[in-house]
Amino acid sequence: MNIHEHQAKELLKGFGAPVAQGVAITSAGEAEAAAKSLPGPLYVVKSQIHAGGRGKGKFKELGPDAKGGVRLAKTIDEVVANAKEMLGNTLVTKQTGPAGKQVNRLYIEDGADISRELYLSLLVDRTVGEVAFVASTEGGMDIEAVAEETPEKIITVPIDPTAGVTDADAAKLVAALGLEEPAAGEMPTLARQLYQAFTEKDMSLLEVNPLIVMENGHLRVLDAKVSFDGNALFRHPDVMELRDLTEEDSKEIEASKYDLAYVALDGNIGCMVNGAGLAMATMDIIKLYGAEPANFLDVGGGASKEKVTAAFKIITADPNVKGILVNIFGGIMRCDVIAEGVVAAVKEVGLQVPLVVRLEGTNVEQGKAILDQSGLDITSADDLDDAAQKIVAAVKG
């Protein structure tokens, strides 16, 4: 689960991290009061969407010459004018995809005098099995580009979970970021605050880009992107309250209600599979035969008929879906249960597109019999290869 920048900053502030003063607003009428509550003389109007690259982003409605999604303002009038221009419009950034995201919320923030823009993040580093800091002097810009073009400018500092952030770890960060006093002296504290926030709140990513050194030499968290581990959310009702459903795909929200692992994609073949690995393999083989999957969907190991029905409804609700491939290996899951779920779902929501079903494993014969006797137009497949070829052919007509 992702949250907005202003929420992430509020949360980090609770751990003591240095963030600027700011006010989130959802209507232009609130802009003046928000700006007046800040010290000035420099203000920043920041689009709150769940995507990065806002500064360099472009508003669809405003044309190529208009300013981006993060704007400096030197007067309160300028704050108000920018708020009016930005709210309600669609911001397209490198991370939103071409459709962009509507800006329904702005963060009016105190402007900082920036001396240097750095990069600092925390993530779960699977190669070492520890939480690690990633740091670079090349902050403020596209870190993926830095990783590709100048990987030597990115350093990783894994943190031993039994020791936490040691002085030696902090010293590595200070050296990597080329910090001088007073910023160098502030780094160990900031690193510990960020690490504590990350671990206590079960984050999967905490990215500060940029972390700045201000003209006065102090550090400040200028941007903050936070993702939480969805499997740990039940432990954090306070975090769950920060969820903004308008930022999420409606199909993914529906899927989460049934505990289905679903990710919407751009293709036209809907997939219903049990097991994440098999779901990945199914997507790969669809691509191999020249088509694109419309989603990733793992119904889980012990899915009920209700769950299968819900999954089927979510897939068919996607207007891009021109064919459906059900690929089930019945281990714990029984093929007859899947077959019953598919038949029930088809009877309930109808079937406007070709459906290919491949069943294998426990109770496969009963499952196939249920499909055959249903009288519905379902194509059976013998193996994954056969299934993929059949659905791709059906979709391509």
Binding-site annotation, residues for substrate: 274, 331-333
Measured from the CB atom, the residue of 222 and 325 that comes closer to ligand ADP is 222
Question: Smallest gap, in angstroms, from Cβ of residue 210 to ligand ADP?
Answer: 5
DSSP string, 194-258: HHHHHHHTTEEEEEEEEEEEETTS-EEE---EEEE-GGGGGG-HHHHTT--GGGS-HHHHHHHHT
Nearer to Mg ion by Cβ, of 67 and 287: the residue is 67
119 tagged catalytic: yes
Nearer to ligand ADP, 112 or 303 (CB): 112
Q: Which does 53 bind (CB under 5 to 8 A by kind): Mg ion, ligand ADP, none?
A: ligand ADP
What does the buried/exposed string (b/e) look like for 46-85 if buried means 16 or more CB atoms within 10 Å of the residue's CB? bbbbbbbbbbebbbeeeeeeebbbbbebeebeebbbbbeb
In the complex with ligand ADP, which residue's Cβ is closer, 34 or 44? Answer: 44
CB of 95 to ligand ADP, least distance (A): 8
Phi, psi of 361 (to 5 degrees): 110, -150
What is the DSSP track for 155-172?
EEEEE-TTT-S-HHHHHH
Nearer to ligand ADP, 206 or 297 (CB): 206
- Point out the catalytic residue in the list 5, 43, 107, 119: 119
Nearer to ligand ADP, 90 or 380 (CB): 90
Which of the listed partners (ligand ADP, Mg ion, none) does 70 bind, with a CB threshold of 5 to 8 Å by partner kind? ligand ADP
Could you list the residues known to form a binding site for ATP, using ranges: 46, 53-55, 109, 112, 117
Q: How far lies 177's CA from each of 31, 114, 212, 247, in Å?
A: 36, 15, 11, 34
Encode 352-376: b = buried (16+ Cβ within 10 Å), e = exposed.
ebbbbbbbbbbbbeebbebbeebee
105: which residues sit within 8 A by CB, 6+ positions away?
Answer: 4, 6, 24, 25, 26, 47, 48
Give min distance, CB of 245 to ligand ADP, in A: 21
CA dist., res. 42 & res. 76, Å (int): 9
Asked if 223 touches Mg ion (CB under 5 A), the answer is: yes
Closest distance of CB 97 from ligand ADP, Å? 15
Binding status of residue 138 toward Mg ion by CB under 5 A: no
**Annotated binding site: which residue ranges?**
46, 53-55, 109, 112, 117, 209, 223, 274, 331-333
> In terms of Cα–Cα distance, which of 56, 41, 172 is closest to 113?
41
> Which partner from the list ligand ADP, Mg ion, none does 146 bind, CB cut-off 5 to 8 Å by kind?
none
Q: Which residues bind ligand ADP (CB under 6 A)?
A: 20, 44, 46, 52-55, 70, 109, 111-112, 114, 117, 140, 209-210, 222-223
**Residue 185 binds which of Mg ion, ligand ADP, none (CB < 5-8 A, kind-dependent):** none
Query: How far is residue 190 from each of residues 17, 165, 171, measured CA to CA in Å?
Result: 6, 10, 12
Q: Quick one: what does residue 18 bind among ligand ADP, Mg ion, none, with the CB cut-off 5 to 8 Å set by partner type?
A: none
CA dist., res. 180 & res. 171, Å (int): 12
Shortest spacing between CB 52 and Mg ion, in angstroms: 6
Q: Which of 138, 186, 207, 340 is catalytic?
A: 207
Within residues 4-33, the interface with Mg ion by CB under 5 A covers: none
CB atoms within 10 A of CB 151: 10
Q: Using the rule CB under 5 A, is 110 a contact of Mg ion?
A: no
Residue 340 is a catalytic residue: no
| Cβ at position 203, least distance to Mg ion in Å | 17
The nearest distance, CB 46 to ligand ADP, in angstroms, is 6
- The amino acid that residue 387 corresponds to is A
Beta bridge partners of 381: 358
Judged by beta carbon, residue 3 or residue 392, the one nearer ligand ADP is 3
Query: Cα–Cα distance between 77 and 330 in angstroms, integer?
Result: 64
CA 223 – CA 339 distance, rounded (Å): 49
- Distance, first Cα to last Cα, the chain: 38
List the single partner that 217 binds among Mg ion, ligand ADP, none, CB under 5 to 8 Å by kind. none
What, of ligand ADP, Mg ion, none, does residue 4 touch, CB below 5 to 8 Å by kind?
none
Structure tokens given for 258: 């049934």
Q: Of 196-215, which residues contact Mg ion (CB under 5 A)? A: 209
Which amino acids are annotated catalytic?
A: 119, 207
Q: Which residues contact Mg ion (rule: CB under 5 A)?
A: 209, 223
